[in-house]
Amino acid sequence: MPFKRFVETGRVAWISGGRYAGRLCSIVDVIDQTRVLVDGPKSGVPRIPIRLNQIRLTKFLIKFPFKGSTRVVRKAWEASKFMEKWRAGKWSGNLSKRKLRRKMSDFDRFKLRNARKARNALRTAEYLRLMKAAKRRSERLRRNSAKWRISKKLGKPIPDKPKKPVTEKKLKSRRVTSPKVKTLKSVKGKAKLTKKVQKVAGGKPKVEKSKATTGKASAKPQK
């Protein structure tokens, strides 16, 4: 059966529009195809007719006689302990969260946004770490399985590849021998300013400035 919530006597509904919006009630009688008679003695809703498009049916059903009085409905509510089940449900939690959001100030929303950013950053970092570990694990398993298949064909285990030793040539290539040179070119003038910085062990770096000017351009030769 696809549908489990029906408009019937005893069905608890949440009023979504009208004067008593946001309160709970129970259906007492069906007037016609568009209206029902509801009563909510424990939620402050009097016995009134209401349109079906103004209520939302819940999964709770209270058993009481057809067209029962308000006293009978109240006793049925107390006996079924419906309010405790409603407060422990997810629907009630979502409504309380919605009320809190409406009462939030600009500063509260700012703090919430920053907290979400921090949470998302931590979540993304952890996700990337797990993905990287899973990728390494799968690569290791793939290599081991390929090595096992080859060794099974050959009938002997395959030794691991030895690591290549670091030569003197590689060590020399890693060293930095050239000093840092910074050149600044001015746009307005034609002068060039060259700044050389040489590091001295155990002291402050020496700074040398040299300014060179260029001569005037020669006149164009006459034809």
What is the Cα–Cα distance from 19 to 38, expressed in whole angstroms? Answer: 14
Give pLDDT, residue 136.
87
Task: Give the span between the Cα atoms of 116 and 8, in whole angstroms.
Answer: 43
As a whole number of angstroms, the distance between CA 74 and CA 82 comes to 11
- Mean per-residue pLDDT pooled into runs of 10, the chain (223 residues): 83 91 91 92 91 92 88 89 86 88 91 94 94 87 71 65 66 54 41 43 48 47 50
Domain 11-101 has CATH 2.30.30.30: yes
- 39's CB contacts (< 8 A; 6+ apart) are 25, 26, 28, 45, 46, 47, 70, 73
Q: Say how far apart CA 97 and CA 91 lie, in whole Å.
A: 10
The per-residue pLDDT for 157 is 63
Q: How far apart are CA 215 and CA 48, in angstroms?
A: 102
Q: Which residues are CB-neighbours of 179 under 8 A, at least 6 positions away?
A: 196, 197, 198, 199
Tell me what pLDDT residue 106 has: 92
Angstrom distances, CA of residue 91 to CA of 7, 32, 156 = 19, 28, 65
**What pLDDT is stored for residue 85 in this prediction?**
87
pLDDT score at 110: 94
